[in-house]
Structure 1
Amino acid sequence: MKTPVFAIDVGYGNTKYAWRATSGTVATGMFPSLAPMADLDTFVGDGDVAMLSREIAVVTLGNLEYEVGPGVRLTAAYGENGRALADDYVLSDNYAALLFGALHFSGVTHIERLVLGLPVHNLNKYSAFLKERFTGELSFGHGKVVVDRVMVVPQPLGSLVLAKNSRGKDFGPDDTHIVVDVGYFTTDWVFATGFSVDNSRSGGMPGGASQIYQRIANLIAHDEGDEVNGIELIDKALRNRTPLLFYNKHIDLAPYVERASPIVAGVVKEMQTKVGRVSGIRSIILSGGGAVLYAAAIRRAYPRIVIEVIDSPCLANARGFLLVGEAGLARERRAA
């Protein structure tokens, strides 16, 4: 399947992707950003009844095989679940495996423009690497995918473009907004008037939702007298708004989220310092998988500013990346 634009947001917590379906609607997908080494027991059964035991794909990189997909194991016996939390994440095999997984599950085989995102503080450092690594003919054990061109944008820009597209005339070219993207490992923000980004007031830093999940795990361990393994289960429970099952006990996580809220203070204070005065700001737009977790602290920090949590915040950047890529491709075609 050939598609003009394909957008992937390979986050530390989840990998999200979006493309324009033949019907004209936006198709999306998401799976955990976990890439453990492939399990020899991926297939169960024998003979004519053999089938995949989980919804995964085995991605081959060199001589190594990784499991990726919605059915990937959230926990592992010895903690090796394939999660990579490092500032140079985009250089890792884990990142490549997750990106290839998004291509596989979508079924695309030829992309004119692949749009990727990077944290604001790493944009200049790694964008050239991503363009070189993922342009051309890609092979990862499931046939070949051809990418004509790679475009790399700051992650919060996707949410800014999506907000503009959703709000139309309410999002004027002279209006100033701050978009805060609360990811799994990093929190990034852009200060923008229309689509003009003020780099001096934009920024980002390590410190996202995973810090809260780890703090919640530590608090539960203290209360229950036993170690809590796998903060991915806490992430899933919070996203699904369900209790956490712990030794046959259903734990309401809401009180623990409140007890973990001081973790957010340092990130919000750094953002306040970088942004400066905000009397002329129209709104602050929150996106990313940790948006809801940070909303209360940001409201306390900016009590006189309208705070908006974008619809489906976890997928916001991928959907916005798609719009950015489509707009750029349309401009090029008009110019040609």
Structure 2
Amino acid sequence: MAKKIVRAAEVGFGTVSFTVSGDDKPVIKTFSSSVGRINESRIGQADMGIGKRETVEVDIDGDIFEVGPDAYLSAQDSDDVLSDHYVGSKQYKALLKGSLSLMHDRVIDLLVVGLPVNHWSKKNELIKLTEGVHDFKGGKQRIVKKTMVLPQPVAGLVSYATSLPKQEFEKNFKTANVVCVDAGYLTLDVCTSRGLTPIEKRSGATENGFSTVLNEIIPTLSKAFSLTNNLSRRLVDDAFWKTNGKLKVRGYEYPFPICKKEENDLGIEYDVTGNINSSTSTAANYVRNIVGSGDDIDYFVLFGGPIKTFEPAIRAQYPHHKMIVLENNLTTVVEGLFYAGKQVVRG
């Protein structure tokens, strides 16, 4: 009997992660949630045989978009971030359909997709969007037989539980009270559970994700560089995780988040640590409000792309608790989605 194909996708406001192949262990691809509208008149989209971008084209309601690792090169600011409509937006549909195109299997028996807690009402809409036949350029097809949707922090919890040795899972995890915190671009999601069973009244989401950190620090940085317009969000985002604590502006690199004027020839000076702490403290206060004092909590599991930015503020709220920060924090959710799907098909 042929094994059923399980694939998973997480379309976030900052990044997209999905499984392209793999049976027992998933092979995962991740890229920025940038969506570029195809405009044949743009010179940047002309195929001159050199510097070809790594993207795929998808048709969404008659509009052609490109998504992939290099899509940000053609994305306008308005296309670069998903709208609050999320599942109903063309950007979301383009990113999800592009992910399907990049998966290696023509027929997918079970597709598992994650949703932020505050978009859980979109579950049925997402199932309708994904199940069925998807046609792509060049005659390529993807057929999704069935879709399952999970809240993103629950998927992260599944990923962590799957990583535990069987003895530890049975002896400690199944009866433990655990708080999972999933830091995303727009939201910070919290799931309190006993083992793998969520405690709904102590779970939720706040719209104080990483975007609020960027919103807080960009005006200060823009002023420091004497810019008439705001500094690019992408440059600031890169300084957190991609360029190893360096902010690159106008071809020069500056220390981040603190830059002293004596450390550069242009007299640039800024310190945005206070701005960062202010934003992350607001998010951590939400965790405290929904979880409580934590006297009955055994430990916290932290994940999500920008979780290390929020970690100090969460630790400050719970200084006496064990905090487990998952190393694969960027792909934790999609791994959990995959493993949850595998468990379902095994029965």
Flag structure 1 segments of 5+ consecutive residues without an equivalent. Answer: 332-336
> Which residue pairs with 2:234 in the alignment?
232
1:75/1:253 Cα in 2 relative to 1: closer, same or farther (>3 Å)?
farther
1:271-310 superposed matches below 5 A: 271-310=287-326
Deviates more, 1:12-21 or 1:294-303: 12-21
Match of 1:258 among 257, 273, 290: 273
> Which residue pairs with 1:220 in the alignment?
221
Deviation of 1:254 after TM superposition, in Å, equals 3.1
> Which residue pairs with 2:268 in the alignment?
none
Using the alignment, how far apart are the partners of 2:292 and 2:320 within structure 1?
15
Match of 1:153 among 137, 150, 154: 150
Deviates more, 1:260-269 or 1:111-120: 260-269
| Cα displacement string for residues 172-205 of structure 1 (whole angstroms, at most 9, x for unaligned residues) | 2101110000001111010011101000000002
Identity among equivalent pairs (%): 24
1:1-336 superposed matches below 5 A: 4-18=5-19, 20-21=21-22, 24-40=24-40, 41-45=44-48, 50=49, 53-73=52-72, 79-86=77-84, 88-123=85-120, 125-141=121-137, 143-168=140-165, 169-171=167-169, 172-226=173-227, 227-240=229-242, 241-255=244-258, 256=271, 258-259=273-274, 260-331=276-347
In 1, are the aligned partners of 2:235 and 2:249 still within 8 Å (CA)? no
Aligned-residue RMSD, C-alpha: 2.0
Letter in 1 for 2:314: I
Deviation of 1:15 after TM superposition, in Å, equals 0.4
Flag structure 2 segments of 5+ consecutive residues without an equivalent. Answer: 259-270
In 2, are the aligned partners of 1:43 and 1:52 still within 8 Å (CA)? no
Other structure's SS at 2:164 match:
helix
In 2, are the aligned partners of 1:209 and 1:289 still within 8 Å (CA)? no
> Which residue pairs with 1:334 in the alignment?
none
Using the alignment, how far apart are the partners of 2:218 and 2:230 within structure 1?
6
Using the alignment, how far apart are the partners of 1:74 and 1:183 within structure 2?
23
Letter in 1 for 2:182: D
1:85/1:62 Cα in 2 relative to 1: closer, same or farther (>3 Å)?
closer
In 2, are the aligned partners of 1:202 and 1:274 still within 8 Å (CA)? yes
Deviation of 1:239 after TM superposition, in Å, equals 1.7
Letter in 2 for 1:136: G
1:30/1:98 Cα in 2 relative to 1: closer, same or farther (>3 Å)?
same
Deviation of 1:3 after TM superposition, in Å, equals 6.1
Other structure's SS at 2:331 match:
helix
Deviation of 1:160 after TM superposition, in Å, equals 0.6
Using the alignment, how far apart are the partners of 1:175 and 1:303 within structure 2?
19
Using the alignment, how far apart are the partners of 1:42 and 1:118 within structure 2?
32
Using the alignment, how far apart are the partners of 1:20 and 1:58 within structure 2?
20
1:141/1:242 Cα in 2 relative to 1: closer, same or farther (>3 Å)?
farther
Deviates more, 1:125-134 or 1:241-250: 241-250
Deviation of 1:275 after TM superposition, in Å, equals 1.2
